[in-house]
């Protein structure tokens, strides 16, 4: 992962909301960590530095407001709270906990992305969408949805491109088959794990002689190693 890559923590129990945020972030060239409960969020915040945090007010175990209060010494970036309530007292509670913004669920994904960019701009964070992504021998140009290996253009299907983009966006990270299925086909797709395996096999052939960059994580999924 490039040092200038924007790193974002999304702490939200609802996987469908996480997926919406993740797809938008990946399109911007940002890296995402996810936490499904308050304890997981606290552990990540104490181990890693982020450029922006999205905290759900309704996190299991420990809610978002308390998470932020317990990690105030580690957090040095803007925080957006998302919550089901639109009541004034709940919005005020989010700001009093240390939040910089509040967005009520359900929200428009493009509005959330705009708020994220604005906050990072105010904090001086590099947030612009990077058109070109490089990982090992692979180079991806987002504007044209083109991918290259050692400057040779790859002839990829739309699904193969989506899989390669997801894997190369976070080199070294292991992605589950379900996660890759959602990223490349969407959460409404009803296909099984075999669909991912078949497309990975085809993608590896097209990456030759660098097919070994895509590693199998047995019993789980795949990862890209530079």
Beta strands in the chain, from DSSP E residues, in sequence order: 7-11, 31-35, 52-56, 79-83, 101-104, 132-135, 138-141, 146-149, 152-153, 175-176, 214-217, 221-224
Q: In the β-sheet with 214-217, what is the strand arrangement from edge to edge?
A: 175-176, 221-224, 214-217
Across residues 68-97, what is the average pLDDT?
A: 88
Please answer whether residues 11 and 70 qualify as being in contact, where contact means their C-beta atoms are separated by less than 8 angstroms: no
Across residues 2-23, what is the average pLDDT?
A: 82
Neighbours of 162 (CB within 10 A): 19
Q: What is the pTM of this model?
A: 0.57
Q: Which residues pair with 35 in a beta bridge?
A: 11
Burial readout 167-203 (b: 16 or more C-beta within 10 A, e: otherwise): bbbbbebebebebbbbbbbeeeeeeeeebbeebbeeb
In the predicted structure, residue 115 carries a pLDDT above the cut 80: yes
Mean pLDDT is lowest, of 6-15, 38-47, 57-66, 135-144, for 135-144
CA 54 to chain centre: 11
Task: Name the percent of the chain lying above pLDDT 70.
Answer: 92
Across residues 125-146, what is the average pLDDT?
A: 75
pLDDT at 222: 94
Rounded Cα–Cα distance for residues 141 and 128 (Å): 15
| Structure-token match 């021998």, residue found | 137
pLDDT at 4: 55
User: Helix, strand or coil for residue 209?
Assistant: coil
Higher pLDDT, 211 or 170: 211
């Amino acid at each position: 992962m490039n040092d200038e890559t924007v790193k974002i923590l999304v702490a939200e129990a609802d996987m469908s909301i996480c997926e919406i945020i993740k797809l938008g972030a990946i399109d911007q060239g940002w890296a995402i960590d996810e936490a499904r409960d308050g304890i997981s969020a606290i552990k990540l915040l104490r181990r890693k530095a982020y450029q922006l945090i999205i905290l759900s007010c309704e996190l299991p175990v420990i809610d978002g407001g308390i998470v932020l209060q317990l990690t105030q010494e580690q957090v040095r970036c803007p925080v957006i709270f998302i919550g089901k309530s639109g009541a004034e007292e709940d919005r005020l509670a989010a700001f009093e906990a240390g939040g910089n913004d509040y967005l009520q669920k359900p929200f428009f994904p493009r509005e959330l992305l705009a708020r994220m960019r604005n906050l990072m701009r105010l904090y001086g964070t590099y947030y612009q969408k990077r058109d070109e992504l490089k990982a090992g021998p692979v180079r991806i140009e987002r504007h044209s949805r083109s991918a290259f290996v050692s400057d040779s253009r790859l002839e990829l299907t739309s699904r193969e491109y989506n899989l390669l983009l997801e894997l190369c966006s976070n080199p070294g990270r292991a992605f589950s088959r379900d996660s890759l299925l959602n990223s490349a086909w969407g959460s409404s797709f009803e296909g099984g794990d075999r669909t991912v395996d078949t497309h990975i096999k085809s993608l590896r052939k097209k990456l030759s002689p660098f097919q070994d960059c895509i590693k199998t994580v047995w019993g789980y999924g795949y990862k890209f190693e530079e």
